[in-house]
Amino acid sequence: MAVELSQVVPLGRSLEEYIKIFDLKAEELKLKILSLADGPASFNAELSAQGGQVLSVDPIYSFSAQEIKSRFEAILDNIIQQVKSTPQDWVWSYHQNPENLRKHRIQVMEKFSQDFEKRSHSGAYLAAELPHLDLKDSFDLALCSHFLFLYSDYFSLDFHLESIQEILKYAPELRIFPLLSLKGKISPYLEPVKKTLSQKGYTFKIKSVEYELQKGGHHMLLIRGPKFS
Ligand SMILES: C[S@@+](CC[C@H](N)C(=O)[O-])C[C@H]1O[C@@H](n2cnc3c(N)ncnc32)[C@H](O)[C@@H]1O
| pLDDT (mean) for 146-153 | 95
Q: In the predicted model, what is the mean pLDDT of residues 49-56? A: 98
Q: Are 59 and 129 in contact (CB under 8 A)?
A: yes
Residue 1 has pLDDT above 60, yes or no: no
- E strand residue ranges, the chain: 32-36, 53-57, 125-126, 141-145, 173-177, 203-208, 219-224
Read off the pLDDT of each residue in 117-134 and give the average, rounded to a whole number: 95
CATH of the domain at 111: 3.40.50.150
Ligand 1: residues within 6 Å at CB?
A: 3, 8-13, 36-39, 41, 58-60, 129-130, 145-147
Q: Which of 5, 7, 44, 58 to mutate to test the pocket of ligand 1 (most atoms within 8 A of CB)?
A: 58
The domain containing residue 45 runs over which residues?
5-224
The number of distinct structural domains making up the chain is 1
The two counts, helices (H) then strands (E), for the chain are 6, 7
- Rounded to 5 degrees, what angle do the CA atoms 112, 117, 118 make? 100
**Residue at 67 is within a domain:** yes
Mean pLDDT of the chain: 95
- Provide CB contacts within 8 A for 216, sequence distance 6+: 180, 184
Is the pLDDT at 98 greater than 70, yes or no?
yes
* Cα angle 131-137-142, degrees, rounded to a multiple of 5: 55
Per the CB < 8 A criterion, the answer to whether 76 and 108 are in contact is no
By alpha-carbon position, which residue is closest to atom 12 of ligand 1?
37
Radius of gyration for the alpha carbons in the chain, expressed in angstroms and rounded: 17
Question: Is 62 within a domain?
Answer: yes
Within a domain: 229: no
Predicted confidence band of residue 75 (pLDDT cuts 50, 70, 90):
very high
> Band of the pLDDT at 7, cuts 50, 70, 90?
low
With cut-offs at 50, 70 and 90, classify the pLDDT of residue 5: low
Residue 49 lies in a domain: yes
**Global confidence as pTM:** 0.96
- As a whole number, mean pLDDT of residues 53-66 equals 96
**Average pLDDT estimate for 91-117:** 97
> If you ran DSSP here, which 8-state letter would residue 188 be given?
T
Residue 36 falls inside a structural domain: yes
188 part of a folded domain? yes
* Ligand 1 atom 9 nearest Cα: 12
